[in-house]
């Protein structure tokens, strides 16, 4: 089953020196085939928010909502079940600094 893993952090993340190394996490999960795709995102200030209201296109530069938490990256995981996905997410460094959100991914 595929899972989309959103990697999120506060705008001022805490540092935990015991957190796993991101390069090691990526290498291990790429080698095992559990990580199908993933990457970091550019900062929210580079975002363009697209909405259509009453047929009118509305564009907003930057993030639409003011928030302390931002999505800084994503990974698509291929895991046997949610339990395996949780174990993969648990080992991600951002689970130690911010948060990691898992959602089932219905797609190819």
- Our measurement of the distance from residue 106's CA atom to the centroid of its chain's CA atoms, rounded to an integer in Å, reads 17
pLDDT digits (tens, 9 = 90+) for 23-79: 999 999 999 999 999 999 988 888 888 889 999 999 988 766 666 778 899 999 999
Q: Check residue 73 and give its pLDDT.
A: 93
In the numeric block, the tokens 């990457």 are attached to 39
Q: Check residue 65 and give its pLDDT.
A: 63
Residue 86 has pLDDT above 60, yes or no: yes
pLDDT range class, residue 4, cuts 50, 70, 90: very high
Domains of the chain: 2-10+35-105 (3.30.70.1060)
Q: Which residues, at least 6 apart from 36, have a Cβ–Cβ distance to it below 8 Å?
A: 2, 75, 76, 77, 78
């Amino acid at each position: 089953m595929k899972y989309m893993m959103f990697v999120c952090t506060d705008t001022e993340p805490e540092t935990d020196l015991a957190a796993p190394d991101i390069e090691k996490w990526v290498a291990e999960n790429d080698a095992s085939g559990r990580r199908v795709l993933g990457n970091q995102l550019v900062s929210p200030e580079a975002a363009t928010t697209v909405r259509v209201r009453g047929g009118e296109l509305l564009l907003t530069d930057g993030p639409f909502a003011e928030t302390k938490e931002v999505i800084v990256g994503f990974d698509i995981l291929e895991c046997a079940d949610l339990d395996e996905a949780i174990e993969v997410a648990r080992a991600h460094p951002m689970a130690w600094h911010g948060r990691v959100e898992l959602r089932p991914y219905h797609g190819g």
